[in-house]
Amino acid sequence: MDVPAAFRDLLDAKFATFATVDDAGFPQLTEVWFLAEDDAVKLSLNSTRRKTHNLQARPECSLFVLDLQNPFRYLEIRGRARIAPDDGSFAERVGAKYDADLAAYDRPGDSRVVVTIDPVRVHAVDMSAH
């Protein structure tokens, strides 16, 4: 993934805004937890949620990470999502970052998927430098 070195710290942020495209063609934005690992950005999503449905229909997505200490600085990763089943191990790694049990947010019988964003464009902006 082509994130400039000066912006790689944002990949450790606590949350990001994730955008998908709904059935009517409108953007749907949600705050999400994420992990940057293996030179990729990945999410753990419940397979029954609207975000997952949207990605199955249209894999185009965007992850927006705002620097909360300097809101003139941000990182946007636009790309296409790859969805794979999660046996629970990825959700555990995400949970470790956030000190949370992601399964606690699921209903009995729900499953989780790993969403990997394959970047098409990485947009790193720092407007405070001007």
Structural domains in the chain?
15-125 (2.30.110.10)
Mean pLDDT throughout 85-112?
90
Whole-number mean pLDDT of the chain? 94
**Six-digit token pair at 75?**
């990182």
For position 55, what pLDDT does the model report? 98
Confirm if 49 and 57 have CB atoms less than 8 A apart. no
Query: Using CA atoms, how far apart are residues 16 and 87, in angstroms rounded to an integer?
Result: 24
Q: Which two tokens stand for residue 105?
A: 């947010």
In the chain, what percentage of residues exceed pLDDT 70?
Answer: 98
DSSP one-letter code for 104: G
The yes-or-no verdict on residue 109 having pLDDT over 90 is: no
Which residues partner with 76 through β-bridges?
A: 64, 123
Name 78's Cβ contacts closer than 8 Å, sequence gap at least 6: 60, 61, 62, 119, 120, 121, 122, 123
Does pLDDT of 113 surpass 90? Answer: yes
End-to-end CA distance of the chain, in Å? Answer: 26
| Contact call for residues 35 and 117 (beta carbons, < 8 A) | no
